[in-house]
Amino acid sequence: MKKIEAIIRTSRFDQIHGCISKLGVKFLSFYEVKGMGFEHARLEMYRGVAYEPAYIPRTKLEIVVPDDLAEGVINCILQEGKTNEVGDGKIFVYEVLDAYRIRNQDRGEAAL
C-alpha cells in the first residue's frame, strides 16, 4: 500500500477529487494548510489596509491506496492540479506497512 500526500491549490481540489473518485478511491483526508515557498503571498486588505501575509493557503490531501492505484492517483493530481504557475504544489509518496479498520478489525487492503 502507498500513502500519497499532496499539497495543492485549494482551487484545484474539486477537479482532483473528481478524477481520483473515477479511479475507485473511496476515502481521502484533506486539510486547510498554510505554507511558504517560491510563490509570494498576494496582498490582502484588512479594514482598508493592504498587507502581505507571510503564508499562502493551500489544501493538503492524504490518500492511502493499494499499490496498483497509486500511479493513477498521482497522475490525477499531476494533471488536474497543474496550472503552469509557481505554487502548484508537491506530492510525496510513502510505503504503508499495514492498515486496520477499527469497526470490524479488517486488516491490510481490506481496511481501506
Tens digits of pLDDT across the chain (112 residues)? 999 999 999 999 999 999 999 999 989 999 999 887 776 666 666 677 766 666 788 999 999 999 999 999 999 999 999 999 888 999 999 999 999 999 999 999 999 9
Q: Are 58 and 39 in contact (CB under 8 A)?
A: no
Give me the DSSP letters along 60-97.
Answer: EEEEEE-HHHHHHHHHHHHHHH--SSTT-EEEEEEE--
Spatial strand order of the sheet with 29-35 comes to 29-35, 56-65, 2-8, 89-95
Helix (H, G, I), strand (E, B) or coil at 57: strand
| Range(s) of the domain holding residue 33 | 2-111
Cα separation, 6 vs 16, whole angstroms: 11
Residue type present at position 62: E
Q: What is the CATH number of the domain that holds 84?
A: 3.30.70.120
* Structural domain count of the chain: 1
pLDDT, tens digit, 9 for 90 and up, residues 47-74 = 777 666 667 889 999 999 999 999 999 9
Which pLDDT score is estimated for 85? 87
Q: Are 12 and 6 in contact (CB under 8 A)?
A: no
